């Protein structure tokens, strides 16, 4: 049975989830294209940050993910180098 990809969310949802105390963990996950994906583990399950035009948003640096995490009001995230 193939693995199901997590649902996709928008950046504004992350801040809302944090404000509603739904977020357990934010994870920067290595992707198959040599970039990073932002995974939000919340009361709604695992969700990945989407691009505005659809698809999973890819980050070339962890600094970009750190900015999103800070803007959401959090101070930490985990890094999964295995993907």
Assign 19 to helix, strand or coil: helix
Give yes or no for residue 6 having a pLDDT over 90: no
What pLDDT sits at residue 32? 82
3-state SS of the chain: helix, strand, coil percent to 5?
25, 35, 40
Give yes or no for residue 78 having a pLDDT over 60: yes
CB 26 within 8 A of CB 38: yes
- pLDDT tens digits, one per residue of 18-74: 999 999 999 999 998 889 999 999 999 999 999 988 899 999 999 999 999 999 999
The structure's pTM equals: 0.89
**Domain range annotation of the chain:** 7-80
Two tokens, residue 57: 């948003």
Give yes or no for residue 76 having a pLDDT over 50: yes
Give the C-alpha separation, 61 to 45, whole Å. Answer: 25
7-80: CATH topology is: 3.30.720
């Amino acid at each position: 049975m193939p693995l199901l990809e997590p649902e996709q969310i928008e950046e504004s949802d992350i801040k809302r989830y944090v404000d509603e105390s739904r977020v357990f963990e934010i994870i920067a996950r290595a992707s198959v294209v040599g970039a990073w994906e932002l995974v939000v583990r919340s009361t709604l399950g695992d969700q990945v940050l989407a691009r505005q035009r659809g698809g999973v948003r890819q980050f070339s640096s962890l600094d970009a993910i750190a900015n999103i995490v800070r803007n959401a009001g959090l101070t930490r995230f985990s890094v999964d180098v295995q993907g």
